[in-house]
């Protein structure tokens, strides 16, 4: 429930006060969580093997954040992309080492999502600071 609260907080803040990159990031986080829930194995079997649905969602999210990294003027999407690469590595390690304890797999996948929410909050706050300081904060590279 704490993660859902953080997701709601960071997403509302990103949508309300962020520039277009922060809004796209917030929408990607919310969509990713909903899709992960929808595509995950049933609760009784969750994290017993590779969560293929979550792997697919994480890969799609990586694509969005890499695109934001290349097209926007922001640096934070690159950090989130790096975290998603780490998350994909966790899925790959589950394939390579199937004896990993399911709780360890779950925690390793979830860790990066918490940090990414905090990055979105910080990115939105920095966007607001640039607006106050300069009156404008260009979102996209030319």
Residue 140 gets the label, from left (phi > 0), alpha (psi -120 to 50) or beta, of: beta
Token digits of residue 86 = 């780490």
pTM comes to: 0.94
The structure tokens 């899925």 sit at 91
Residue 13: both structure tokens together: 């803040």
Average pLDDT over residues 108-133: 96
Mean pLDDT of 74-89: 97
Q: Which pLDDT score is estimated for 55?
A: 96
């Amino acid at each position: 429930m704490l993660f859902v609260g953080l997701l709601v907080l960071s997403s509302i803040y990103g949508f309300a006060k962020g520039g277009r990159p922060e809004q796209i990031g917030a929408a990607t986080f919310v969509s990713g969580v909903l899709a992960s829930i929808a595509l995950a194995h049933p609760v009784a079997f969750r994290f017993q093997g590779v969560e293929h649905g979550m792997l697919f969602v994480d890969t799609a999210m990586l694509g969005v954040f890499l695109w934001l990294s290349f097209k926007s003027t922001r640096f934070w999407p690159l950090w989130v992309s790096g975290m998603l690469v780490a998350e994909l590595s966790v899925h790959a390690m589950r394939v390579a080492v199937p004896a990993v304890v399911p709780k360890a797999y779950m925690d390793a996948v979830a860790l990066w999502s918490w940090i990414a929410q905090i990055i979105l909050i910080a990115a939105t706050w920095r966007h607001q600071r640039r607006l106050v300081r300069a009156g404008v904060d260009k979102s996209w590279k030319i």
